[in-house]
Amino acid sequence: MPRKVVLVAETVMDGVGKHVVDIIEHLNKSEFDLHVIHGTTRMDYRFEAALEKWSGNGVAFYSVSSLQREIRPASDWKAFRQITGLIQAIEPDVVHCHSSKAGVIGRLAAKRCGVSKIYYTPHAYSMQSQERQTVKRLIYQWIERILAKTATTMTFNVSEGERAFALEMKLGDPQHFKVIYNGIDRQFCPGKKAGYRSAFDIPENAFVIGCVSRLYYQKNPLEFLEIAEKLCTVSESFYFIWVGTGEMAEIVQSRTSDAGLNNHVFFAGHQTDVDGYLASFDVFLSTARYEGLPYTLVEAMRAGLPVVATDVIGNNEVVADGVTGFLYEPGVVSDAALHIAKLFEDSALREKQGNAAEQRFVMYFTIDRMIESIESMYR
């Protein structure tokens, strides 16, 4: 008889959404009876496609509109009651909660229902974004400590750095944390490089630095612009493309105009053909302030791209500094620019690091490895 597994996720978009969709797509349906409880305000095309494909075809979906990102006591209480009712009706063997809001409400509901195995994947702790011991950070830390001890069988961290951070914050005992790297399919579908460059009138012999991410605080697009400005004053050969949208779109585009970079920095908006854009890049650049373990860097490595990224948790486990790309201290844009300039000037180094990146992807970050680890814990 298949083991019943419930996934709980408030957001089903971007990295968290991709992770949930990958479980939906690849989990062994003959061994596991899968149920997905999800919010409705943050969904993307991947999850909508999975919903259409699998609903009534081996996976049960339950939308909970009160499960939202913002802290709203009335909505949160309603979400807790709804999720508790769903878990009671499903009677699962395993509940697996994703990210902070579902991590709190989902784990409490599962505990209330007496579920024997309650797992949690934070996808980067919210405390990672706060360098100082603020009241908000202390509250989050206290909540995570209580839930880790009372309502969590085990936490799945997506990187060793995230696990080390949890232990540093004293969120639980070492044996209650297990690292399971994010993984993706081996297949890379590049499309036509020329088509993506010509859409922005970028010359074919130009050097393109790209990023695929949401335009919001965590990803730090303003630092991306600072690096672009520094390099574009050195050479006309540098071009930049950011694929993705978000709440900082207006301010970022305004800053681009103010800096006179409209002919060298382009914003592609939301796109579904990420591989096609990656094929048009020469270097991938991540300016993120903090991460769990970013899918976009793994996708860049699969595409054979050297990566220049901030030296933060997650990034520094994907990128082998000096081997598959370069790491730089967040905020030190001069170092980032120097690394990119070095790759621009040395095509042999660029090819060598790109090949090493592809090999590192195959070694550590395939979907097969990720699903095998998750299934073994569900058993």
Q: For 311-325, what is each residue's pLDDT tens digit?
A: 998 899 999 999 999
Whole-angstrom Cα distance, residue 343 to residue 228? 15
CATH fold label, 193-364: Rossmann fold (3.40.50)
Give the pLDDT confidence score for residue 274 in this predicted structure.
87
* Residue 138 pLDDT class (50, 70, 90 cuts): confident
Q: At what angle do helices 100-112 and 135-150 cross, to 10 degrees?
A: 30
Give the pLDDT confidence score for residue 131 in this predicted structure.
56
Burial 170-182 (b: 16+ CB within 10 A, else e): ebbeeebbebbbb
* Tens digit of each residue's pLDDT (9 = 90 or more) over 152-178: 999 999 989 899 999 999 998 999 999
Give the pLDDT confidence score for residue 315 in this predicted structure.
95
Q: What percent of the chain has pLDDT over 70?
A: 97
* Residue 217 pLDDT class (50, 70, 90 cuts): very high
- Where along the chain do the CATH 3.40.50.2000 domains lie? 3-183+367-378, 193-364
Of the candidates 345, 301, 334, the one whose C-alpha atom is nearest the C-alpha of residue 319 is 301
Give the pLDDT confidence score for residue 193 in this predicted structure.
55
Mean pLDDT of the chain: 93
Of the candidates 1, 55, 60, the one whose C-alpha atom is nearest the C-alpha of residue 32 is 1
Task: Give Dmax over CA atoms of the chain in angstroms.
Answer: 65
Give the pLDDT confidence score for residue 356 in this predicted structure.
98
CATH fold label, 3-183+367-378: Rossmann fold (3.40.50)
* Tens digit of each residue's pLDDT (9 = 90 or more) over 227-246: 999 999 999 999 999 999 99
Q: At what angle do helices 14-26 and 45-54 cross, to 10 degrees?
A: 20
* Residue 129 pLDDT class (50, 70, 90 cuts): low
3-state SS record for the chain: CCEEEEEEECCECHHHHHHHHHHHHHCCCCCEEEEEEECCCCECHHHHHHHHHHECCCEEEEECCCCCCCCCHHHHHHHHHHHHHHHHHHCCCEEEEECHHHHHHHHHHHHHCCCCEEEEECCCCHHHHCCCCCHHHHHHHHHHHHHHHHCCCEEEECCHHHHHHHHHCCCCCHHHEEECCCCECCCCCCCCHHHHHHCCCCCCCCEEEEEECCCCHHHCHHHHHHHHHHHHCCCCCEEEEEEECCCCHHHHHHHHHHCCCCCCEEEEECCCCHHHHHHHCCEEEECCCCCCCCHHHHHHHHCCCCEEEECCCCHHHHCCECCCEEEECCCCHHHHHHHHHHHHHCHHHHHHHHHHHHHHHHHHCEHHHHHHHHHHHHC
Name the token pair of 183. 């993984």
* Tens digit of each residue's pLDDT (9 = 90 or more) over 49-63: 999 999 989 999 999
CB atoms within 10 A of CB 373: 16
* Residue 195 pLDDT class (50, 70, 90 cuts): low
Residue 194 has pLDDT above 70, yes or no: no
- HSE-up of 210 (CA within 13 Å, CB side)? 29
